[in-house]
Chains A and B, each alone.
Chain A
Amino acid sequence: KAGVTQTPRYLIKTRGQQVTLSCSPISGHRSVSWYQQTPGQGLQFLFEYFSETQRNKGNFPGRFSGRQFSNSRSEMNVSTLELGDSALYLCASSSLRAGDYEQYFGPGTRLTVT
């Protein structure tokens, strides 16, 4: 079974620009979550989507948004990029079948804002 895939793997953007990251979950997984990893703050939860609906949201500004499509693929968008948005963005999927709450992570997208 293929794992979680994320594209692109690396991205360099300029302050003020916007960026869209993509995530394809494990086949059959309907829940997709996004995380930001930085050296200072560690891994922080951004939001979770299930059946095209955002169900949970972390403590991030409205510049961070996302969506999920009917095939469970998800995109994350960051508008008006700031230098502090430079991070590894990780996507995780979960089946949420009875008793299975583990989240499986993709390799991440390394975003550098200059």
Chain B
Amino acid sequence: DQQVKQNSPSLSVQEGRISILNCDYTNSMFDYFLWYKKYPAEGPTFLISISSIKDKNEDGRFTVFLNKSAKHLSLHIVPSQPGDSAVYFCAASARTGGGADGLTFGKGTHLIIQP
């Protein structure tokens, strides 16, 4: 069963507008969430993370929101730029003893920024 779900395989947004990528999870033990961006033939690039003790984290144009009661998180990109076109992965971790447990990834959302 998929513990991390990204229900939109693709998303098209106009340049300059806000991109909102969504992610749902089912495992209550997850307490750390990350977003990665991936171009073809490259490894995922870390974008932003959030701990379950927070409900929002910002880094420049990227903001991640976490709603623990709904088991939902979202990534907002404002304003969207052509270079943002890539596949975005949501990932979750159930940290134990401070270690880096394996990340559980969603299937990804292909974001396309239209000029």
Contact = CB atoms under 8 A, between A and B. Distances in A.
Interface of A: 4, 31, 33, 35, 42-48, 50, 55-56, 58, 90, 92, 94, 96, 101-108, 110
Given A42-B107, A42-B108, A43-B89, A48 B46 contact: no
Nearest to B97: A55
Given A50-B99, A90-B44, 4 more contacts: A45-B102, A45-B104, A92-B103, A106-B43
B34 A102 contact: yes
B43 A42 contact: no
B47 to A, nearest CB: 10
A65 to B, nearest CB: 16
Interface of B: 32, 34, 36, 41-46, 49, 89, 91, 93, 95, 98-108
Contacts of A50: 99-100
Contacts, number: 69
A96 B100 contact: yes
Contact of B98 (A33, A44, A96, A110): A96
B102 A42 contact: no
B59 to A, nearest CB: 12
12 contacts: A33-B100, A33-B103, A42-B106, A45-B104, A47-B102, A48-B99, A48-B101, A50-B99, A96-B98, A102-B34, A103-B34, A108-B43
A43 B102 CA distance: 11
A34 to B, nearest CB: 9
Given A42-B107, A94-B100, A103 B43 contact: no
A43 B105 contact: yes
A31 B42 CA distance: 21
A58 to B, nearest CB: 6
Contacts of A33: 100, 102-103
